[in-house]
Chain A
Amino acid sequence: MIVRLMGEGQFRIDDACLARLDELDERATEALGREDEAELDARLDEMWAVVREQGEPLDDADLSPSDLIVPPSDLTLEETRALFSDQGLIPDL
């Protein structure tokens, strides 16, 4: 499975790592719902750490698409919301 850390790059991860990510993702999503920025940032930081530690970085020239994309951990609540909105944080290509 290939995961992209937004603004960092792509990594290949195994099932155990994916299970851990899913678990953290669920808690991060709840934190966003409660507008608990500290908890959201902490869980996202943990997701990034898990991928960096357990994943294997893909070569820069690899053109494989990612199965999953992890948002940046240094966004504000507002930016995170904008990232997921229709207008989006990502400019049109």
Chain B
Amino acid sequence: MAGLMGRATTVVKAKFSKLLDKAEDPNETLDYSYEQQLTLLQNVKRGVADVVTSKKRLQLQSSQLEQSLVKLETQARDALAAGREDLARAALERKTAAQTQLRGLDEQVQGLEAQQQKLVASERQLSAKIEAFRSQKEVIKANYSAAEAQVRIGEAATGIGEQMADTGLAIQRARDKTEEMQARAGAMDELIASGTLEDFTSDKTQLDRELEQISSQAQVDDELARLKGELGAGAERKEIEP
């Protein structure tokens, strides 16, 4: 059984030898291969953009959760001040759950960041090799007969084919990763929407409503006291007037 390096080498070489087999005429091979390279370069650029989009979405969810942590802390304080320990507890429980979610999101963002860096490096290498291949291709086409060109181009084509297979793998892995992340982010949105999971990021939670009720009751009490005071003062004045 061949070692890992041997097997990886065989797999990669098999990928690009298929590519070279597609055309009989060396000039055609060169042009065809060059077109494939440009397509792949577009794909890797798109891959980078997809990773960035995914990362932004997770970062948005993450900052929404950060805001909710501050809000839940304030709510817990308000609830305690109003003598409602049960509500304060509920707010702190939600805060803990939000913190756990946040840690998970941060890890995912880091994972995407690593994918992004790999893709950018791959894009840079592929781009440099395509440029080198393009100039060699023109030199070969101008200076050699078809038979000679076949020999001359072998090594350059193999070198770039290998880079193409490698870049292809990088794109594939980044794609798998972003799809997985998007599915997870989507699932979180869905859970929030269906009410299975408390929506930490919505504007109004049950906790908000209960706290509002407390504060509106307090306001009503204050207003009532004020009105009573005014009525009392009016009654006194009435008594004095006659």
Contacts and interface: CB of A to CB of B under 8 A. Distances in A.
Nearest to B127: A60
Contacts of A29: 1-4
B62 to A, nearest CB: 23
Contacts of B133: 63
Nearest to B161: A93
Contacts of B122: 7
B11 A63 contact: no
B159 A65 contact: yes
Given A7-B122, A89-B169, A92-B18, A84 B8 contact: yes
Contacts of B156: 63
B3 to A, nearest CB: 4
B121 A8 contact: yes
Interface string B8-50: 1101100110110000000000000000100010000000000
B169 to A, nearest CB: 5
A88 B4 contact: no
B7 interface: yes
A8 B169 CA distance: 11
A59 B11 CA distance: 24
B8 A71 contact: yes
A90 B5 contact: no
A61 B4 contact: no
A7 B118 contact: yes
Given A28-B4, A61-B131, A63-B129, A90 B159 contact: no
A93 B16 contact: yes
Given A22-B3, A26-B3, A65-B155, A6 B172 contact: no
B18 A93 contact: yes
B170 A65 contact: no
B166 interface: yes
Contacts of A59: 128
A9 B36 contact: no
B121 A9 contact: yes
B162 A4 contact: yes
Contacts of B158: 65
A25 interface: yes
A93 B15 contact: yes
Contacts of B19: 93
12 contacts: A7-B170, A21-B5, A25-B4, A25-B6, A29-B2, A32-B4, A67-B9, A71-B4, A88-B11, A90-B12, A90-B15, A92-B18
Interface of A: 4, 6-9, 21-22, 25-26, 28-29, 32-33, 44, 59-71, 80, 83-84, 88-93
A-B interface, 7 closest residue pairs, ranked by CB to CB distance from nearest = A60-B128, A63-B159, A25-B3, A65-B158, A61-B132, A61-B128, A69-B8
Interface of B: 1-9, 11-12, 15-16, 18-19, 36, 40, 118, 121-122, 124-125, 127-129, 131-133, 136, 155-156, 158-162, 164-166, 168-173
